[in-house]
Structure 1
Amino acid sequence: MQILRRYFGVNLLTVFAVGLFTVTLPIQAAEKKCECYCNIEGTGATAVPDEETDVTSSECKKLCADRNSSVAVCALNPSEKPEYNVMCFTPDECTAQKGTITASGTGTPTQPGDCKAGMFYCYPDPKTRMETTLQVPIAGLTVTGDFGEYIATAYKWLIGTSTTIAIVLLMVAGLRWTLGGLSPEQIGKAKKTIANAVIGLVLLMLTYVILLTVNPQLLRLQVPAFPLIKPVSVVGQDSCGYLTGKWGTQAYLIANGAPLDSPHVMGIGNPYTLEGAKDTNCGTVANVTKDPEGKHVADDMTCTYDYCPKDGNEKMHCFGVGATAECLTCLKVKAPTSENCSVLTTKQFAPGNPGKILNEIRCFFSRGISSNVSTLTTGTCARLVYECKNIKKCSDYDDIIVRFGNTDLKLDEIDNNNLSQQSDTDLGSLCAEDPCRVAPPEESCQAKYGDFSVIFGLGKAFNCKSSSEWAK
């Protein structure tokens, strides 16, 4: 029995210990893979094993170590590649920034290891320095573009001025000694002045000697040449189509169905440069790499394609990002809000007369009556359609049909069912707006209660009439 207890006791302790250590072991997250570039001086950032093969960060370190070099970058996305390093310029880019690819402005440039082959650091060109006119000239220096030159001139002027003062003090002390005669007091003051002047003069000379001994460059005060940094643009939350000026196969213009006119349409302006997108479908994300002037944009700047074709005559809008994105019409919007509904409104204007509306498909948020009860709480995108050729007088606005899901209501019935306060559009607002301009001259369309019987629910709540009709 004791042997059994001892056997089970040992096994229970073993199971407990194994379970304890098994539970407490941390879960190791899988390493992300990247494009590996090694820092090879004289050759430039070199992809290993090649640009098509992704490796982990630890594998990248080993690959570079095998080549006796360090890691230039482990690029997780295109914007991290060496060619997008803000310190690296092509010769043409450097010239455009009024710089030179050598620190001195002459000689052969050295290929930096963290830049792609053919790209270099860019330094300010000494020949194109900015000149500044001094308000107070120093030792004849009135204009300078070199801070080191300014400090060196000021230092030399101070040395010369201090030396002159010391010599004058020596002369004054000598004169006092001579004129002091046998006065011990005057002679003592003269000796003290001479001693102080000599000490000051020696210290001034020693400062020059010490600086010359430590580093002759300290006397020249030549400011080190620091590499320039590329100007970087910041992109807002614009669509990829807007940035490239393309709406499907057409130009990104309102006339072609785009949300707004893009200044980057070919022939109007220059587009941004995008990378990393497999297609231009709704929701596809791309990396923005360069602005229209060819300058690099800030890291991790992305955009989303938003092109959607029309569903017949009805506009579709791109909702979502990535694989879950989809093009939806007004009545199929899954997350109805005032903003999401209103983007699906379209108007057609008369050719050559942008102020005259021919027809409108208006999409607006509402908590209207529908076969779906949930719309009373979450709301829905409702749609009304009218053609101005069918609107001849103010009262014709009453009969415009509004669709809530699968339910159709006339526009004046929205008010009759107390829905006007829960909708972005009602008869009152559309009547007063009078988009078809049917009100008689110097009059307006107005929506009012018709009579007292209407107030008690015996008829329609509102009617749209002209001001003269209501006056009768």
Structure 2
Amino acid sequence: MPLRALTGLFITALILWTPFVSAQAAESLCTCFCATEEGTLKPSRDQVTEEKCTQLCQENPVAVCASTPRQFPDNNGLCFTADACQKQNGVFSTTQPRECPTGWHYCFPSPEKSKVKLNIQIGDMTTVGDLGTYIQKLYQWMLGAGALIAIVMVMIGGFQYALGAAASGQLAQAKDRIKNGLIGLVLLVSVVVIVQMINPQLLKLDLPRPSLLRPVDLTQKTCATFKQEGYGLKILEGDGKSCGSFAEVVEAPPGVPLPDGLTCYFMECARGGCVISPEQKGQCVECQTISNDNPESSARPSRDLCGSLTFEKRSGLQLQTEHRCVFHEKGFDTPESAISNLDEDACYEIAIDCKEINECDDYEAISVFYRDDGNEQKEFSLWRADPVQLTGICSVNPCKWKINMECEPDGPYDCDRK
């Protein structure tokens, strides 16, 4: 076939194919969620086009037209359940956001539980929990300091005027100092009066509170928990058992309301705990493998993540073993501790085995495991690794049922019988 004929055939096919491809793209389907005053609602159980989604929502805006289940409203990082907000030490909002599932609200940082120590004390304030309080206190302190300086300048001018009667130059300087001090004092008072006349709320500085972001690993419930409580699941990804398997909650027990678009993860691991990465992939990890400089783990250390990997075994009320996962924050340990040599944030593990505890001194030899900066596993006794933790464990005395004695710390490195 001649080259010109082949070229013409190719162009004709391209022209005919282009509208077909465009029509396919335009008809891409998604799961529709409407933003209502009661939260997100799914108007149709079937997938629809974006245009159809807008029509179904009618007067309500579209919350999301999710092309994948991971775009469902319960994956919105601004939306919290009450339990998830409590775990973050936050304040659960009382209003229902339109873009969140029903019963899920914003979570704001609690000023009382998120106080920061000030490097420079402002008046009698040494800690502060929100920016508005800090700016208000700084404003009040600067206003008082300005008034004090103005009054002091007037007093200095008065002394200068009284002592400089014999020198005309001194009298002129004294008058200028008194005048400038009074002008400064009047200006300060005028600022307060003007602001009070315009809007008294300007002095209260009630700034809008930013909402917390929900960590990916801080899920409301696992799929296994939903199954135990009688919910029906539809497996979307994975085998429906292992860490990272993803499912949609499609059925609730009788009489229990079910928010539209609720999803969950399976979190089961043979060893360690299940962590959901920012890419929303599951990974089984062990406590001491989590650090910022470990290339083999996608999990990033945090207080919540490390704490979620703590587990214990009990016989009734008696503790048998406990594997406590503790968060190490760079620069926040005593210089004498072994883990203070870590250059990055990391999780480390404290292994308590009551079979090995026969007296109070044995708490000092509890094993601590962590990875050093070369990603090599290290093992130290508790008194060397972290004296602060030793003091707390000694005071709690978790194996008291076995040793039948009271324990108390004697300094940072010793645990003695009380």
TM-score range (shorter-chain normalised) is 0.3 to 0.5
Larger-gyration structure (1/2) = 1
Question: Relative contact order (alpha carbons < 8 A, sep ≥ 6): 1 or 2 greater?
Answer: 2
TM, length-normalised to structure 1: 0.42
